[in-house]
Amino acid sequence: MNKLFFSAITFFVFCITGFAQQEMPPAYVMIEEVVVSATDPRFAPLFYSTSENGEGSLVYDLLELVKTKKIEARSNIVGGYKMNWSYIEHQLGKREKGTWLFAEGVIQKDIPYSLQNVKGYCLFFITSRDQNFNLVSRVFAGLAPLTKWNNDTLLINGCRLAYFSLKEPLVSAILERRCLHCPDSSMTYLNFLRQIPIEDLNPGSHFITPDLAGLLSDKFNYKSPASGLFSYPESVSGSACVVMKEIEDFDYNYSFFEIYYNTFFNISEKINNIQKQATSYFNFPFLVGRDIYGYSSVSSVSINILDQCHDAYEFDSLRFFSHRLNSEKDVVKAYKYDTLERIDPYTGEMLPDTVLASVDYSVVRILELHNGSDIFPIALCIGRYIYDENYKFIGYNPVLWIPIDQQFLSILDSSQAYLPGYPYQKTLWGYLRSGMYKGRILSERPIDNGEWLQMKEVLE
């Protein structure tokens, strides 16, 4: 009976833990990447080969997957460029007769590629940490073989040939093979990789969303929680007012480099300072949020929804939704497009035109309803940047209002805000609802139920 009772309790705790893991993501989720070199004896098993041409080595088996087109390779764990075999063999030293080489001139015979030019690996891990930045878990996600130029360091100038994800079954099968040169002959490549001392290798780190972590590794099943059901109030109090705020810009400086680009080295030594300064970055989500790490910005989401012909209203600082713009004629599209012809530097072939998109607009103001102690964001103002003759930014012109209706709200609530140093994730809608952003009040005026009901029709 006691054993049965203990088993039932254990099963119950296991279930609760499993549900909690799915519902409550850790405070921080990150990609960690480290470089291991072929010259470091600690990692010699990763470079061991049974033949001069590299056959039988780990890199030979991995690259054969790309060479035989069994998998489609990318340059990085978060996508990057598509890597074809002609590019990879060029990086491995292949040169055709007649090619001009620096310090050697025109070569007189073909030079084949060589796996001896693989000088290291970039290893990728998905790491989760609690709100005090203590390590919760670290999961190996994949690796990329590296070449390097001259005597440059692998860390800075190593060229990634292709990224091989553990989620790919063919890659997983290779890494599950025995590592013949390991001290323990029964150890697999995967077991060896999981035991590498990450902290000793100056890891580079990037904050990512729990959703992206789930796409990169089967070991993560966390989901970013949405803010939940929301509706605007049916009526407003006698003291209700609408407040227009100008979003405070942040002065970019070199100390922001790592935070702005979401790339950190030895972050464990810096996290306390980042957390202390987190309030300095609370306006980042308006402009900063790189899709490759799972984040979006309020401005990018707003401009995208404009590009999809969402309702917009001419800017008016008093009557906010008085003149609806014709989405096909009057709404200024925020993207400017141009095309660029490209030539493959290795084959000389003409590549398809590349479309370049530039944007001179962003969210510059926010309209709030203050109803008692509740504050509701109800519209975002898109502004166009103004530059002088030297292309120096001097200000902006407000152009239009985008009401935060249910369609726009749902998109904001499915997009993640980049808040470095702030534990736990927030959607862009959760971020706007929290009032974390900093803004300068430009105007404030009362609103009655009649006007609110008219605005609410737009916000439905």
Tokens 């203590």: give the residue: 134
> Can you give the pLDDT at residue 155?
52
Angle, vertex CA 261, rays to CA 335 and CA 141, nearest 5: 110
> Can you give the pLDDT at residue 11?
38
> Can you give the pLDDT at residue 59?
94
* Full pLDDT tens readout for the chain, 460 residues: 444 433 443 433 334 334 334 456 788 999 999 999 988 999 999 998 877 777 889 999 999 999 999 998 888 898 778 888 988 998 888 888 877 766 667 777 888 888 888 999 999 999 999 988 999 999 999 999 998 755 545 555 568 899 999 999 999 999 999 887 888 878 999 999 999 988 888 899 999 999 999 999 988 887 777 777 788 999 999 999 999 999 987 666 666 788 888 888 888 888 888 887 777 788 889 988 888 899 999 999 998 888 787 888 988 888 888 888 876 555 554 545 455 566 655 555 666 655 544 456 788 899 999 999 999 999 999 888 777 777 776 778 888 999 999 999 999 999 999 998 888 788 999 999 998 898 999 999 999 999 999 999 999 8
Is the CA virtual torsion 4, 9, 15, 18 positive or negative?
negative
> Can you give the pLDDT at residue 102?
65
Domain map (residue ranges) of the chain? 24-216, 241-459
Question: Who's near 323: CB < 8 A, 6+ residues apart?
Answer: 313, 314, 316
Cβ-based burial of 169 (10 A; exposed 0-12, middle 13-18, buried ≥19): exposed
> Cα dihedral angle (382, 390, 255, 293), rounded to 10 degrees?
50
> Can you give the pLDDT at residue 254?
62
Nearest-Å Rg of the Cα atoms of the chain is: 27
Distance CA 359, CA 12 (A): 53
Extract the tokens encoding 51: 């033949």
Which of 164, 393, 128 has its CA nearest to residue 287? 393
User: Do residues 93 and 101 touch, judged by C-beta distance below 8 A?
Assistant: no
Is the CA virtual torsion 388, 338, 303, 213 positive or negative?
negative
Question: Who's near 406: CB < 8 A, 6+ residues apart?
Answer: 459, 460
CA-to-CA separations, 36 to 31, 91, 138, 260, in angstroms, rounded: 16, 19, 17, 27
Which of 166, 124, 122 has its CA nearest to residue 144? 122
> Can you give the pLDDT at residue 6?
35
User: Do residues 406 and 400 touch, judged by C-beta distance below 8 A?
Assistant: no
Distance CA 124, CA 19 (A): 27
Distance CA 255, CA 226 (A): 32
User: Do residues 378 and 365 touch, judged by C-beta distance below 8 A?
Assistant: no
User: Do residues 55 and 49 touch, judged by C-beta distance below 8 A?
Assistant: yes
Distance CA 391, CA 71 (A): 45
Distance CA 29, CA 307 (A): 32
